[in-house]
Amino acid sequence: MRHLLSIEDLSKSDAVSILDTAHELARVSDGAVKKLPTLRGRTIVNLFAEDSTRTRISFEAAAKRLSADVINFSAKGSSVSKGESLKDTAMTLQAMGADAVVIRHSASGAAQRLADSQWMSGSVVNAGDGTHEHPSQALLDAFTIRKHLRAGAHDLEGLTVAIVGDVLHSRVARSNVLLLSKLGAKVILVAPPTLLPVGVESWPATVSYDFDSVIPFVDVVMMLRVQQERMSDLYFPNAREYSRYFGLNADRMKSMKQGSIVMHPGPMNRGLEISAEVADSARSVITEQVTNGVSVRMAILYVLLTGSALEAGSN
């Protein structure tokens, strides 16, 4: 593996091997060892052309725990805001000797473009491109689900996951649908028809408009953020109505199955798609998702950057 661009291109066995690697890395960094020398002398650039807190920090923490050097590059305050093209930015990074670039971009396909071009020779990790994919988030979600509900197993066979809310604008939802179904879970998308993308019937998931009828049967409820910044139209009448039909509140949580968990990729709109009571409840694994994110991203960097000299030689 050289790049991580989308879940669509990731085989089931590669996904499982990233999750297994993350499992061992989590055990190592839980224990006595806080810093590993694995990627000493490698340079990883965080190229964030769109705002992000947790993904950037998570990749930075992951790289640092593996002893890599990290350069943070954000659009604001860099020459990207002066109109520099992706190509020129990439060539600058190449000239600086970046071994890997973690890219977040508002244009779908930006990571793919960077990987396909000859602009730079390092590995490319997609940290979210437009409304397309966010593979590292899906991997950390799958890792969290597996840890809680399928401990000891490799896949997610037999589990049912509801992904609820703004599917239309969510790259997290798209990556999760692809990955969770690849790993054997059944996925149900719950959203108002206006917040489902065109062609959703071809996704490996079923669709429901009725949250209350779905909630008693699922093992995982994954809430999505309502992405107001991407909404140019009116997709639902008002926040209160959305919250009443598609929000997860304490009342709704009561009908959840025993042992089932609540997830949210963050950042949360407390009171809109998820109530504060639910977010802070015992069922919520939301902060654990953040912790697991670091281990999963360490695994991604490990898998992409070991043997890189080998692959560069064979090309």
Partner 1 sequence: MSIALSAPDIKRALTRISHEILERNQGSSSIVLLGIPTRGAHLAARIATIITEIEGVAVPCGTLDITLFRDDLRLRAPKAIMPTTIPPSGIEDKDVILVDDVLFSGRTIRAALDALGEIGRPRTVQLAALVDRGHRELPIKADFVGKNLPTSKSQSVRVLLSEIDGRDEVGIEGEVL
Binding site for partner 1 (CB under 8 A): 1, 17, 20-21, 24-25, 27-28, 31-33, 35-39, 66, 302-303, 305-310
Per the listing, tokens 């996904």 go with: 15
Residue 282 CA to its chain's centroid (Å) = 23
Instruction: Copy the structure tokens of residue 307.
Output: 């043997």
Give min distance, CB of 12 to partner 1, in A. 16
CB of 144 to partner 1, least distance (A): 19
Q: Give yes or no for a contact between 174 and 132, defined as CB atoms under 8 angstroms apart.
A: yes
Q: Which is nearer to partner 1, 1 or 231 (CB)?
A: 1
CB of 33 to partner 1, least distance (A): 4
For residue 19, the minimal CB distance to partner 1 (Å) is: 12
Of residues 95 and 309, the one with the C-beta less far from partner 1 = 309
User: Minimum CB separation from partner 1 for residue 293, in Å?
Assistant: 18
Q: How far is the CB of 29 from partner 1 (least distance, A)?
A: 10
Classify residue 38 by its DSSP letter.
T
Q: How far is the CB of 231 from partner 1 (least distance, A)?
A: 41
Q: Which is nearer to partner 1, 84 or 311 (CB)?
A: 311
Based on CB atoms, which residue is closest to partner 1, 13 or 232?
13
Closest CA to 171 of 276, 50, 44: 50
Of 250 and 312, which CB lies nearer to partner 1 in the complex structure?
312
| Contact of 185 with 218, CB cutoff 8 Å | no
- Coil, strand or helix at 104: strand
Helices 286-305, 135-149: inter-axial angle, 10-degree rounding: 120
Q: Identify any residues that bridge with 161 across adjacent strands, giving them in sequence order.
A: 187, 220
d(C-alpha 1, C-alpha 115), whole Å: 12
DSSP category for residue 3:
-
Between residues 66 and 172, which has the closer beta carbon with respect to partner 1? Answer: 66
Cβ-in-10-Å burial (0-12, 13-18, 19+) of 181 comes to middle
Sign of the C-alpha dihedral, residues 26, 65, 180, 219?
positive
Concatenated DSSP letters for 293-314?
A: HHHHHHHHHHHHHTTHHHHHHH
Q: State which residue, 86 or 305, has the beta carbon closest to partner 1.
A: 305
